[in-house]
Amino acid sequence: MASVEVLAGSIRIAHDVGYVGTESLDPISPSRFFYANQMLYSRQVRQGTNGEPAPEIAISAGCAA
């Protein structure tokens, strides 16, 4: 198997202080931190109109074993 190097770090995102520090990473919170949530919860696969998995940003909705 090939090894994979994982790099960790920090990302800083400037944003409006409209919620005066009460921003939340909870995606259903009314004061959610939208830009950070977009990056955290971006889906590779979504539920299609027929209820089955469908690719969103993935190439296919299949699963490799």
pTM of the model: 0.41
pLDDT for residue 32: 80
Helix locations, 1-65, DSSP H: 34-40
Phi, psi of 40 (to 5 degrees): -70, -40
Query: Are 54 and 46 spatial neighbours (Cβ–Cβ below 8 Å)?
Result: yes
Domain boundaries, the chain: 7-65
Query: Which positions ≥6 away from 35 have C-beta within 8 Å?
Result: 13, 15
Is residue 3 predicted with pLDDT exceeding 80? no
In this prediction, residue 12 has a pLDDT band, given cuts at 50, 70 and 90, of confident
Instruction: Read off the pLDDT of residues 14-65 as tens digits, 9 standing for 90 and up.
Output: 777 777 778 888 878 888 877 777 777 777 777 788 888 777 766 655 555 5
Phi, psi of 36 (to 5 degrees): -70, -40
Cα 17 to the chain's mean position, in Å?
22
